Structure 1
Amino acid sequence: MRISQLEGRRVALWGWGREGRAAYRAIRSRLPQLPLTLVCNADEAADARALGDAFLSVETGADALGAFDVVVKSPGISPYRPEAVAAAEQGTHFLGGTALWFGEHADAAGFVDNAVCVTGTKGKSTTTSLLAHLLRAGGHATALVGNIGLPLLEVIEPEAAPDYWAIELSSYQTGDVAASGVRPGVAIALNIFPEHLDWHGSHERYIADKLRLLTEAKPRIAVLNASDPILSALQLPDSAIRWFGRSDGWHLREDALYRGDEFVMDTIALPLPGRHNRGNLCAVLTAIEALGLDAVALAPHAASFKPLPHRLQTIGTRDGITYVNDSISTTPHASLAALDVFRGRRVALLVGGHDRGLPWEEFAAAMRHSAPLAIITMGQNGPRIHDLLAAVAGEGGFALSAAADLADAMQQARAVLAGDGVVLLSPGAPSFGAYRDYVARGRHFAELADFDPDGISAIPGLGIG
């Protein structure tokens, strides 16, 4: 759907965060007198009313969504909420800013061929940023946008159009590409683990929603991880599939990067912490080839990549202890991957946060044979994680304790390391409740470690460059 197609319809905006405000500005830039209703919370309502927009009304309850033809919804609001389901049954059409952006950029054949969409439970931000970095190194103006921190509707009409769009999509947004009816040129899917069950309602629905970027949006070329059991079983009759992570494509042999049987370079010194991140380099290079570019020539530029904040980010060393900020870790699988990076080091791991009901049994089982020196639980789901770990702590040989909050966890971590080791914040859970978001949690971690939080938070390369 194009924004112009909202003309004459009853339209509401649902949510007034950064995505909601971007949607408002994009619609107003094209339809300055379209009557709009904003549905938001009481705190946001005052901000919206201060705009003085005579064609904008503000409501603080979502019970009347069924009165609208179209609701432009912020990504964090689940379409499976009862009021959304009831409105949809009455004929209300829900879409997000991602759908509007794709509608505005489609060519005559219904494609955005220079768009590379990246999704996956883990690694999508680094992968999208690395893709933009390598394309720019090849002299191609590239936009780094989407879920990574710059809503698509904030760059709906740039002064100079980029050669390529590197777009990170969360599971909240993949369905919007499908809903737009527009097909991206390339879509990368990295992996699928249980995640965001509170938004999607079930693991099965999460998988289905995540895969909509492939099964319903029907990219011209799908770049898929051959080692992921869900992705490797996909049948995509409307898309060409390029595999990474297998011997006939881009893959790793130990730390060596290969394209088929051709050795390309060693990856051990690259600024990509963890084998999983170096594996995602294979996804990026496969996508670059899907765009018709020389990936072998661009691969060495990965050496100048600047890692993203809050993702296995070493923020510094104090009194013999190194502090690593992996605040974006929101699944147990992410915490396991983080531990693997520091295998062989003395590590105190901080886990726990908002409880979304994700299973921690697999994590606990792994601690029988690959545990760090100590694990400190915290947050809403801390007690549940602690109970699971208590059953294996003796066998795993690790110290286990519970903390009241992050500050308490840091104190305990320092004490157990005694001036030698790594404090690893990889909570495996969201920050909600204690913090606004994972960025705020990571910044607090830096403050508690006596580092400047402003020095660790900027995302390099965001926007068009």
Structure 2
Amino acid sequence: MRISQLEGRRVALWGWGREGRAAYHALRGRLPEQALTLFCSADEAASADALGDGLLSVETDASAGRLSAFEVVVKSPGVSPYRPEAMVAARAGTAFIGGTALWFGERAGEGEVARGVACVTGTKGKSTTTALMAHLLRAGGVRTALAGNIGLPLLELLDDDADAWAIELSSYQTGDVAAGGVRPDVAVVTNIFPEHLDWHGSEDRYVEDKLALVTRARPRIVVLNAADPRLATLGAALDPGTEVCWYGRDDGWHLRGDVLHRGDTALFDTRDVPLPGRHNRGNLCAALAAIEALGHDAAALAPAARAFRPLPHRLQVLGERGGTTWVNDSISTTPHATLAALDVYRGRRVALLVGGHDRGLDWSDFASRMRSHAPAAVVSMGRNGPRIHELLAPLAGDGGFVLREAPDLAGAIEQARAALAAGTRPATGDVILLSPGAPSFGPYRDYVERGRDFARLGGFDPDAIAAIPGLGIASSSPD
């Protein structure tokens, strides 16, 4: 859908975060005389009113009746279309789209391929993969945009252009690509694990929505992780006319031990690439496969990965305090991600902080792994902390691991320090690892705010750890 198609229609915006504000400015820039209604919280209404836009009506009651009064509602990604009021309005004829759909609608004609546009999704690894793509392409002098769910709404770059677009999409946004009516050049899916079940309503719907980037958006080339069982099944079921590039298997980009390979050709040892954990270096394979699918010489660009600046809140080493290493993995919002983080620090004495907002994910696999791969201590916290603690209680003690609980992050850090102090310090040093396996909602606005608070509580500067390098459009990587 193009923005011009909204002219003269009954249009509302739903949400006033950064994505909502980007949608407002995009619509107002293209349709200066268009009447708009904004649905937002009471706290946000004052900032919207301060715009002084006489054609913008601000309301705080996004009821089914009010939403049904509009032909099109441009919603922010955090607003689920499966909310009861949205579903009622949709049945009454209201179309719900996101800013991603509007951006794609401006890129090319209906059904055409948006050349140079690569979209990356997946439960984990999508941000690192997207940022790696931008970094490597820029290392080759390609004018590249880094945007999307990674921290810069696409609509903020509506009037800009680039030779390549590295776009991260969450499961909240993947369906919008198809809604935009334009096909991405390349679509990458890193993996699929249950997440965001409160937004999607069920695991099946989450998987369906996540894979909409492939099944409904009809990209020119699909890049899939051969090690993921769901994606292996998906790749086999795709239309024969769909070109699929696999990474993580011997005929494509993959790791053999720590050595990066393209097919049988060995390129270099990846241990000096600043990506903690072998699973993280697998994202390099995804990025290189996508770059190759875009038509660039990925093998020539690959060595530039050594100069990549890791993203914040993703196994981010903050530093040491008293011989203890503090690691911020606040982006971890699934038990699977927490297990991957623990693997990175296997062999060291770790106090793990887990728990947060409870959206009903199953922690039984995590508990099973604790039978043989437990850290020195586990401290549960947050809304689902008691549920995690109850699940782990039968496994703790008797030479296993120390299990403690706390109501919040500050208390969890105190408990982690106490648990480590009670043991004998190993030669390699201790680790306090925040890898909660759950969202931050409630005490924090998002995982970024939670990570910043972890840094502050550990005695580190929150402002020094939070910036995502390279957002926007550039022809070279940031120093």
> What range describes the TM-score normalised by the shorter chain of this pair?
over 0.9
Q: How far apart are 1:416 and its partner, in Å? A: 2.0
Contact preservation (8 Å) 1:368, 1:396: no
Which residue type is aligned with residue 225 of structure 1? Answer: N
How many equivalent residue pairs? 463
Q: How far apart are 1:434 and its partner, in Å? A: 1.0
Partner residue of 1:91? 93
User: How far apart in 2 are the matches of 1:98 and 1:381?
Assistant: 32
Contact preservation (8 Å) 1:345, 1:421: yes
Partner residue of 2:139? 137
Q: How far apart are 1:126 and its partner, in Å? A: 0.7
Partner residue of 2:338? 335
Partner residue of 1:173? 173
Q: What is the TM-score normalised by the length of structure 2? A: 0.95
Q: How far apart are 1:404 and its partner, in Å? A: 2.0
Contact preservation (8 Å) 2:11, 2:35: yes
Superposition map of 1:282-431 within 5 A: 282-394=285-397, 397-418=400-421, 420-431=429-440
Superposition map of 1:239-318 within 5 A: 239-318=242-321
2:458 maps to 1:449: yes
Contact preservation (8 Å) 2:110, 2:181: no
Which residue type is aligned with residue 175 of structure 1? Answer: G
* Higher mean C-alpha displacement, 373-382 vs 287-296: 287-296
User: How far apart in 1 are the matches of 2:242 and 2:399?
Assistant: 46
Query: Percent identity over the alignment?
Result: 70
Q: What SS does the corresponding residue of 1:222 show, helix, strand or coil?
A: strand
Deviations 1:263-319 (A, max 9, x none): 111111210111111111111111111111111111110000000000000000011
Partner residue of 1:66? 68
Partner residue of 1:148? 150
Gaps of 5+ in 1: none
User: How far apart in 2 are the matches of 1:458 and 1:368?
Assistant: 37
Contact preservation (8 Å) 2:110, 2:182: no
User: How far apart in 1 are the matches of 2:228 and 2:17?
Assistant: 34
Superposition map of 1:206-245 within 5 A: 206-234=206-234, 235-237=237-239, 238-245=241-248
User: How far apart in 1 are the matches of 2:279 and 2:108?
Assistant: 33
* Higher mean C-alpha displacement, 393-402 vs 172-181: 393-402
Contact preservation (8 Å) 1:15, 1:38: yes
Q: How far apart are 1:394 and its partner, in Å? A: 4.1
User: How far apart in 2 are the matches of 1:273 and 1:85?
Assistant: 42
Contact preservation (8 Å) 1:360, 1:385: yes
* Higher mean C-alpha displacement, 120-129 vs 99-108: 99-108
Partner residue of 1:30? 30
Structure 2 CA distance for partners of 1:395 and 1:71, relative to 1, 3 Å: farther
Gaps of 5+ in 2: 475-479
Structure 2 CA distance for partners of 1:408 and 1:92, relative to 1, 3 Å: same
Q: How far apart are 1:108 and its partner, in Å? A: 7.1
Structure 2 CA distance for partners of 1:395 and 1:82, relative to 1, 3 Å: farther
Q: What is the TM-score normalised by the length of structure 1? A: 0.98
Partner residue of 1:6? 6
Q: What SS does the corresponding residue of 1:252 show, helix, strand or coil?
A: strand
2:472 maps to 1:463: yes
Superposition map of 1:427-442 within 5 A: 427-442=436-451
User: How far apart in 2 are the matches of 1:36 and 1:107?
Assistant: 26
Which residue type is aligned with residue 377 of structure 2? Answer: A
Structure 2 CA distance for partners of 1:281 and 1:84, relative to 1, 3 Å: same
User: How far apart in 2 are the matches of 1:246 and 1:23?
Assistant: 40
Contact preservation (8 Å) 1:367, 1:396: no
User: How far apart in 2 are the matches of 1:396 and 1:277?
Assistant: 31
Across the aligned residues of Structure 1 and Structure 2, the Cα RMSD in angstroms comes to 1.1
Contact preservation (8 Å) 2:82, 2:200: yes
2:52 maps to 1:49: no
User: How far apart in 2 are the matches of 1:273 and 1:54?
Assistant: 51
Contact preservation (8 Å) 1:142, 1:163: yes
Which residue type is aligned with residue 148 of structure 2? Answer: G
Which residue type is aligned with residue 179 of structure 1? Answer: A
Contact preservation (8 Å) 1:256, 1:263: yes
User: How far apart in 2 are the matches of 1:174 and 1:205?
Assistant: 12
Structure 2 CA distance for partners of 1:208 and 1:395, relative to 1, 3 Å: farther
2:20 maps to 1:20: yes
Partner residue of 2:477? none
Contact preservation (8 Å) 1:189, 1:224: yes
Q: How far apart are 1:236 and its partner, in Å? A: 2.1
User: How far apart in 2 are the matches of 1:75 and 1:413?
Assistant: 35
User: How far apart in 2 are the matches of 1:462 and 1:395?
Assistant: 49
Q: What SS does the corresponding residue of 2:90 show, helix, strand or coil?
A: helix
User: How far apart in 1 are the matches of 2:110 and 2:60?
Assistant: 40
